[in-house]
Amino acid sequence: MTLPPLFIVVEDGAEYTERFTRFLGHEARFLRALDFAAALASARVEPAAGLLLDLDFRRAPAAALVDEAGATGAARAEDERRRLSEVQGILILRALRGAGVVLPALLFADLDDPDQLRFVRETLAPVRIVPSSAGLAEIRAHLRAARGGG
């Protein structure tokens, strides 16, 4: 019996993991990673089909947030913590790419700036940006595409 493909869900809560497991668990498995370190460890150990990343990590502790250089640090001013948490999914994906993780990624984000969208797509490929308006059918199609199934 073949196991369904595994996706690593990088989020500071459990909403995505729980929702995807509940509604898409019959065709994929989902492993939650709360931060960059956990995502990197999972990507190096688990035979994953892809990464699913939330953008905003406002519930994450300051020490778990990575900055633009991929570094973590507990001594962050509140304005820096807030700035990093607002784009943490992008920063985690950047750090994962820098560490050699090339799994296809879905970034759940509402990015309205065309230049930012182009920059993310060009520098963090392979990545698809999935807006918050996406329903389960669209997310399912993205998962299938990420694992090479359409």
Domain ranges of the chain: 6-146
Please name which of 48, 57, 43, 51 lies closest in space to residue 13, comparing C-alpha atoms. 57
Ranges of beta strands (E only) in the chain are 6-10, 29-33, 50-54, 105-108, 127-130
> Domain 6-146 classified CATH 3.40.50.2300?
yes
Q: Is residue 21 exposed (0-12), middle (13-18) or buried (19+ Cβ within 10 Å)?
A: middle
If one counts every other C-beta atom within 10 angstroms of the C-beta of residue 59, the result is 10
How many whole angstroms separate alpha carbon 65 and alpha carbon 118?
A: 24
Residue 149's pLDDT is 56
- Splitting the chain (150 residues) into consecutive groups of 10 residues, what average pLDDT does each group show? 92 96 95 97 93 96 92 85 95 97 96 91 95 92 79
| Prediction pTM value | 0.93
Please name the amino acid found at residue 142: H
